[in-house]
Amino acid sequence: MLKLDGVQAYYGYIHALKDVTLEVPEGKIVTLLGANGAGKTTTLKTISGLMKPQKGKITLDNSSIIGLPPEKIVAKGIVQSPEGRQIFPDLTVEENLRIGAYTRKDKKNISKTFDEVYEYFPILKERKNQEGGTLSGGEQQMLAIGRALMAKPKILLLDEPSLGLAPLIVQNIFKIIKQINEEGTTILLVEQNAMKALAVADYGYILETGKVVQHNFASKLINDDSVKKAYLGE
């Protein structure tokens, strides 16, 4: 459903994306792996409309989304949960979540989505009147994902959901990512934690200095010697 074809993007003179071609089929979890600075976040920015690629195509169900403003892209069902969480620290958990639903037309169904989000993340329900900034790192990450879910995405873009979290919390977050997918949301997952990402994903792409250098089924990449050596810490 989501396709990138030969996408190139620059920050001034920095050629951040040189050739990104990838597909995110409906119902799957696709992971985008690579070292720091490989271009993972930039790829997500070109999809969510925060950055316009200089070359290449980005299509959702065969229609181009390049040049659309970010809120239109959200309305089409592509919603990003950003790196570093970027929640609103002075707003309560519930207010943060409500903001995620701002582009929805079906306002009367919003309370149902609140229930769904609170089911994935019961801790957010317990803390619903607490200010976002007072949550722990793991809880803020849950809030960022929950806020993205409030928009009822078809495709959820997750930027490093495990960054800086303790191993047990990481485990929990990946379990919930799998659950969200099983309940019908397609996911593009950007991760540094290659092992964990490949364990939940169907397919993986490896990015090096702005180019896709390898892609395959996650079950294949996880057993590939060169991948293990470079990205899985072996």
Q: Residues touching ligand ATP: how many (CB under 6 A)?
A: 11
Identify the H or E element spanning 30: strand 29-33
Do 85 and 159 meet the contact criterion of CB atoms below 8 Å apart? no
Q: Which of residues 97-126 bind ligand ATP (CB under 6 A)?
A: none
Nearest to 76 by CA among 189, 152, 6, 5: 152
**Look-up of token digits 């001034």:** 12
How distant is the alpha carbon of residue 87 from its chain centre?
15
41 counts as binding ligand ATP under rule CB under 6 A: yes
Query: Nearest approach, Cβ of 75 to ligand ATP (angstroms)?
Result: 25
Give the one residue of 1, 8, 19, 37 binding ligand ATP; rule: CB under 6 A: 37
Q: Should residue 53 be labelled a site residue for ligand ATP when binding is judged by CB under 6 A? A: no
H or E element in which residue 119 lies: helix 110-120
Cβ(92)–Cβ(132) below 8 Å: yes
| Cα separation, 179 vs 171, whole angstroms | 12
CB-wise, 39 or 161, nearer to ligand ATP? 39
What 3-state DSSP class applies to 69?
coil
For position 39 contacting ligand ATP by CB under 6 A, the verdict is yes
Least Å distance, CB 101 to ligand ATP, is: 27
**Burial class for 75, CB neighbours closer than 10 Å (0-12, 13-18, 19+):** middle
42 touches ligand ATP by CB under 6 A: yes
Interaction between residue 38 and ligand ATP (CB under 6 A): yes
Site for ligand ATP in 5-24 (CB under 6 A): 11, 14, 16
Q: How far is the CB of 51 from ligand ATP (least distance, A)?
A: 9
Window contacting ligand ATP (CB under 6 A); options: 33-41, 67-75, 111-119, 212-220: 33-41
- Token pair of 35 as six digits: 């070292």
Residue 204 touching ligand ATP (CB under 6 A)? no
202 close to 9: Cβ distance less than 8 angstroms: no
Q: Which is nearer to ligand ATP, 14 or 99 (CB)?
A: 14
Counting contacts by CB under 6 A, is residue 127 touching ligand ATP?
no
Instruction: Retrieve residue 206's tokens.
Output: 């490896």
Is 70 an interacting residue with respect to ligand ATP (CB under 6 A)? no
- State yes or no: residue 161 binds ligand ATP (CB under 6 A): no
Q: Please give the residue ranges that form the binding site for ligand ATP (CB under 6 A).
A: 11, 14, 16, 34, 36-42
